Structure 1
Amino acid sequence: MDDLSPSDLKVILHSKRANLYYLEYCRVLQKDGRVLYLTEASKENLYFNIPIANTTVILLGNGTSITQAAMRMLAQAGVLVGFCGGGGTPLYMGNEIEWFTPQNEYRPTEYLQGWMGFWFDDDKRLAAAKTFQNARIDFLKHVWQKDRDLKTEGFNFDDKAIQSALDTFFTRTEKATNSQELLLTEAQLTKVLYKYAANATQNEGFKRQHESSRTVDIGKANDFLNHGNYLAYGLAACTLWVLGIPHGFAVMHGKTRRGALVFDIADLIKDALVLPWAFICAKENATEQEFRQQILQVFTDHKAMDFMFEQVKKVALQSLTEQQIDAIENNQLGEQL
């Protein structure tokens, strides 16, 4: 079989790709035109293929290395690579993940231009933040009402506690006059969701800890929340890279944080997907790998990355006419195919 050319590796749109990898204690290399990771067994070395044309993000954890040739192929396929701490979760505010985005001078410009068209206006930036906040609740409603497994575990979107918290959330979001008020409102809602999830999974006494112990269920839920959040950050970073929008142009998490827009976009899916499954998997005493497999599967089942693309493009192109948006969409689709 002939080796694939770089152009052949881009036939799958990023929003439709299925794979996100976390690797540890292995070496990533290029061999015979493929990207592999090598692990050391007791008697032999084991090679495993990475389907780079269908991969969005690779997280490299403890004990990993990667060759220049492998990085070249990953860049050609448009795969983001990040170095992180153990379990995919760097120390909260202790160190940060460093994303290596593929070198490509032909990123689209329309979305960045649209983003810059409103970003320097405080009122318009606040309106964009409110749009994202409302979208995250729409996604939460969609997922929790549709997912049978979540219903079986006791996650009911129509529960009085959830609806009461949402009433307060919508009222305060509408009245917010700056991003700090939005962040406070978001934190209050998330606190309610944590309590609801803890009660649904009999995780009594849960307290959110970003640097948690793994010796008890409370710690395991925190570990899974951290782990799942960083997987969501990977999808968000990939979405922004594909659309050509730098990570520093946040609308809510603060203009002084270099990667803050990644957090804004990841928030679209974290409450709906990461939060409940972190608690469910902790209750089931799942391993880190089992949780990761579960969360990546629900990302795919509920088309999390599609939703991210949809919302970011909607905000970026909000000032354009439908004809202009259609022209941009058709042009971008043609370039990626």
Structure 2
Amino acid sequence: MDQLTDLKAILHSHRANLYYLEYCRVMQKDGRVLYLTEASKQNLYYNIPIANTTVLLLGTGTSITQAAMRMLAQAGVLVGFCGGGGTPLLMATEVEWLTPQSEYRPTQYLQGWLSFWFDDAKRFEAGKHIQQARINYLGRVWGKDRDLQSEGILLESSQLKTALTRYSDRLDTAEKSADLLLAEAQLTKSLYKFIVQSVSFGDFKREREGTDKANAFLNHGNYLAYGLAATTLWVLGIPHGFAVMHGKTRRGALVFDIADLIKDAIILPWAFICAKEGATEQEFRQQCLQAFTDHKSLEFMFEQVKQLALRGDPEEEIVQ
């Protein structure tokens, strides 16, 4: 088995690691990708297990060598430059992804996606499917996560059941994308209220430019979800502009659609729990990444996107 095959042995949907690095140099050394940090008396090298890594985010004060990029490309790792803390600061919307150009991309998923995307009715149904999968995943995660349950987030709460039932009913009666967006906004408001009360957080107002910990953690966590969504679409070869709900005129809108699958289930509760406990940004990020792994978030995203892309396709799907 050649080196390229070895590096790609782990499926993208099963890889465990997502790295954010700052103030270091990423390089290739002895057939491995390492990052170098400068300590007071010595240089410290740390290994990056690229065969088990989906995303490498390079933040403030980082650089990377051509040799390291070559190995990352061979392993199919998505590389991006971002602002401090893993959150893109320039215009607060974009990460510039660097994708391996030698990577083989199956066209099956793109062709399947486009087979329904130009049909308004079918595209609308795909949006409904994503939103239904979103609350199904939330029920699955909150129903078995003991850490969340110990914080008072209980799936059997009458308040939560009412909010989810109302949302399902609105999905059934929705007739256009604007209806979905309105229903989503109402659900989000209800979930914020439920979480705040469940964890005894106190007063809260959602402000994307807010500097308090809860708002900062929500922003940061959402970008982590966007990273997983972008990774899923990149591996399957579906351009980010083919959105089904968040608007056809926004270049990365499909990333927001797919990130919806996991944001409420994982980012929302942990943002408030970590803020209440006074966690650091690093601690919050580690908690989110662990939750992604525990609840197989990336694998779930792959499953849902592939289901939508391959609807009505009798051929055997290509495993990613």
Alignment TM class, shorter chain as reference: over 0.9
CA distance in 2 between counterparts of 1:41 and 1:188 reads: 50
C-alpha separation in 1, matches of 2:76 and 2:49? 12
* Contact 1:92 1:210 (8 Å CA) reproduced: no
Other-structure match for 2:256: 263
User: Contact between 1:27 and 1:39, CA under 8 Å: does it hold in 2?
Assistant: yes
In structure 2, what is the Cα distance between the partners aligned to 1:133 and 1:93?
27
The 1:199/1:287 distance shift into structure 2, 3 A limit, reads same
1:126 to 118, 124, 128: 124
The alignment's TM-score, normalised by the length of structure 2, stands at: 0.96
Moved more, 115-124 or 242-251: 242-251
Aligned pairs, number: 320
> Secondary structure of the residue that 1:246 maps to in structure 2?
coil
Q: CA offset at residue 94 of structure 1?
A: 3.7
Aligned equivalents of 1:95, 1:308: Cα separation in 2: 21
SS in 2 for 1:203: coil
In the TM superposition, 1:148-297 aligns within 5 A as 148-213=146-211, 219-297=212-290
Amino acid paired to 2:115: G
Instruction: Report the Cα offset of residue 92 of structure 1.
Output: 8.8
Residues 109, 238 of structure 2: 8 Å contact kept: yes
- After TM superposition, the structure 1 stretch with the greater mean CA deviation from structure 2, 248-257 or 133-142, is 248-257
Counterparts of 1:6-155 in structure 2 under 5 Å?
A: 6-91=4-89, 94-104=92-102, 106-155=104-153
Residue 149 of structure 1 aligns to a residue in which SS? helix
Distance apart, 1:177 and its partner CA: 2.1
CA contact (8 A) 1:58 1:82 kept: yes
How far, CA to CA, are the matches of 2:94 and 2:162 in structure 1?
Answer: 35
Alignment deviations for residues 158-212 of structure 1 (CA, whole Å, 9 cap, x no partner) = 2122122122211222222222221121111111111211222222211112222
* CA distances 1:210-259 after superposition (whole Å, capped 9, x unpaired): 2221xxxxx11111111111111111111111111111111011111111
Q: Which amino acid aligns with 1:256?
A: T
CA distance in structure 2 between the aligned counterparts of 1:40 and 1:199, rounded to whole angstroms: 45
Q: Which is worse superposed, 163-172 or 279-288?
A: 163-172
Shift of 1:93: 5.2
Secondary structure of 1:21's counterpart equals: strand
1:308 aligned to 2:306? no
Superposed structure 1 runs of 4+ greater than 6 Å apart: none
Structure 1 stretches lacking a partner, 5+ long: 214-218
Instruction: Letter of the 2:187 partner, please give it.
Output: L
116-125 vs 186-195, which moves further = 186-195
SS in 2 for 1:312: helix
Matched-pair contact (CA < 8 Å) for 2:76–2:103: no
Task: Give the share of equivalent positions with the same residue, in percent.
Answer: 71
CA–CA distance in structure 1, aligned partners of residues 58 and 192 of structure 2: 29
For structure 1, which segment, 18-27 or 102-111, has the greater mean C-alpha deviation from structure 2 after superposition?
Answer: 102-111
Q: Which secondary structure state, in structure 1, belongs to the residue aligned with residue 247 of structure 2?
A: coil
Distance 2:68 2:187 in 1: 43
Residues 155 and 307 (structure 1 numbering): CA distance in 2 closer, same or farther, change over 3 Å? same
Question: What is the CA deviation profile of residues 253-307 of structure 1, one whole-angstrom value per residue up to 9, with x for unaligned ones?
Answer: 1111111111111110110011111111111111111111111111111111111
Cα deviation, residue 312, structure 1: 0.5
TM-score normalised by the chain length of structure 1: 0.91
CA distance in 2, matches of 1:302, 1:317: 24
- Evaluate the alpha carbon distance shift between residue 92 and residue 228 of structure 1 in structure 2; reply closer, same or farther with a 3 A threshold: farther
Kept after mapping to 2: 8 A contact 1:57/1:238? yes
Tell me, yes or no, if the aligned pair for 1:92 and 1:211 is still in contact at 8 Å.
no
Q: Which amino acid aligns with 2:207?
A: Q
1:106 Cα deviation from its structure 2 partner: 1.9
Give 3-state SS (helix, strand or coil) of 1:39's partner.
strand
SS in 1 for 2:55: strand
Give the aligned residue type for 2:75: A
Partner of 1:216: none
* Equivalent position of 1:317 in the other structure: 310
In the alignment, is the contact (CA less than 8 A) between 1:91 and 1:211 conserved in 2? no
SS at match of 2:97: strand
